[in-house]
Chain A
Amino acid sequence: MHNEFRVETQTTGRLTTLTVTGELDLVSSPVLERELEKAYSLDADWILLDLRRLAFMDSTGLHLLVKAQQRAEEAGRRLAVTRGGEQVQRLLDLTGVADLVRIVESPKQLLEADRAPDGP
């Protein structure tokens, strides 16, 4: 069964979370890119891409992640992603993108790390 692509954006305090469902590819990447652009303008320090419900990602999605990292920095924001499913994580590891972006297990972990004295 294929889940329809969806992006849900939620801001809580200093964190804006974009929860991504479905498949991130040529079809859906422009949609996520538009939602990310909106997120950069929100008043939150952190932007978290929650990929836990993402069923599939291709190189289009990888390219988007790398670009999002640069755009977030330009906008004075910090970007993190939650660890995705096996296919998604394998793609991040194989291409080295896993070393370029901050990966957390959950939004809660990111917030806890951010509150720690030495920061995330």
Chain B
Amino acid sequence: MSSAAGEALGLDPELMSHINTAVSEACNNVIQHAYSGEPGPFSVDLAAMAAGLEVQVRDYGRGIREAAADHDGLKVGLALMSAVADRAEFIRAPDGGTEVRLCFRGAAEARTTSGQASSEADDPPQVWQVRVPTGLSGDIVLTVSPVELLAPVLGRIGRALAPSAGFSLDRCADVYLVTDALGAYAEQAAESASISVALEARDQLLEFAVSPLRAGTSRRLDAGATGLRRPESLASLTDELTVSDSGGHELLRVAMRDRRRSH
């Protein structure tokens, strides 16, 4: 997780490192085990609030108990999540699949003492109430609140997903540049306190759809708004970039291909 995002939220480096580890393991588990190595849908919700920072990862594949029986690697991942989170729950969902809930208490202390989130300190927990905006669908739908959490979390998820798309190591390095850029842009353009990203991984193709963004903000989608250093820009790092209207707000969609492998 980037130190910039952590500083903005008043999270200490150790806590950020724990969140980074937990998100990474949760996504690895789904990508490697929930669907027996095949693509399948899952969602990640992450929110910092008064009670702490909560992460929920939900898949619709085979249950965690069945998968753990076959894979020692999965057991290590589960143990790591349990070790770094203050509370970890692994729930077999009634309609199939697994729900992982992780809570980090240190986040609340950090945010309260930093004073940066004091206005939100009395807000009711919102993580389970976050709803995906209309128009977003994909293998993975990530929702974060506040928006500052997007860049670091999306970076780890993109990185976990890139091998499924068959990306080379070189192109994987660009994934971080793109997810950081999307995060920086979302901080300026998000319509509300939460933001969602749908991700798709296909053969040498990685797609991100970000929403809801304020109408008209795509005009500022240049290097300055994404934090990239010229001559790099979101357009130069990606292969497709479109902005569309989605129920009164903007939806930004970018697609990355692995150029080296596409020839």
Contacts and interface: CB of A to CB of B under 8 A. Distances in A.
Given A4-B173, A91-B80, A59 B28 contact: yes
B193 interface: no
Contact of A27 (B21, B77, B163): B163
Contacts of A58: 21, 24-25, 28, 80
Contacts of A4: 173
B169 interface: yes
B153 to A, nearest CB: 14
Nearest to B167: A27
A27 B172 contact: yes
B159 A95 contact: no
Contacts of A1: 2
Contacts of A26: 28, 31-32, 159-160, 163
Interface string B71-94: 001001101100110000000000
Contacts of A91: 21, 80
Contact of A2 (B13, B14, B163, B176): B176
B17 interface: yes
A90 interface: yes
Interface residues of B toward A: which range?
20 to 34
A5 B168 CA distance: 12
Contacts of A59: 25, 28, 73, 76-77, 80
B25 to A, nearest CB: 6
A28 B83 CA distance: 24
B61 interface: no
Q: Which of B14, B28, B32, B172 has the most CB of A within 10 A?
A: B172
Interface in B211-256: none
Q: Which of A5, A31, A59, A63 has the most CB of B within 10 A?
A: A59
Interface in B162-206: 162-163, 167, 169, 172-173, 176, 180
A87 interface: yes
Interface string A1-42: 110110000000000000000010111100100000000000
B169 A95 contact: no
Given A31-B169, A58-B25, A63 B73 contact: yes
Contact of A60 (B13, B28, B173, B180): B28
B155 interface: yes
A62 interface: yes
B20 interface: yes
A35 B136 CA distance: 41
Nearest to A60: B28
The 8 A-B pairs at the shortest CB distance, nearest first, are namely A2-B176, A87-B17, A59-B76, A58-B24, A94-B83, A59-B77, A4-B173, A27-B172
Given A4-B173, A86-B14, A94-B80, 20 more contacts: A2-B173, A2-B180, A5-B169, A26-B163, A27-B169, A56-B20, A56-B24, A58-B24, A58-B25, A58-B28, A59-B25, A59-B73, A59-B77, A59-B80, A63-B73, A63-B76, A87-B20, A87-B21, A90-B17, A95-B80
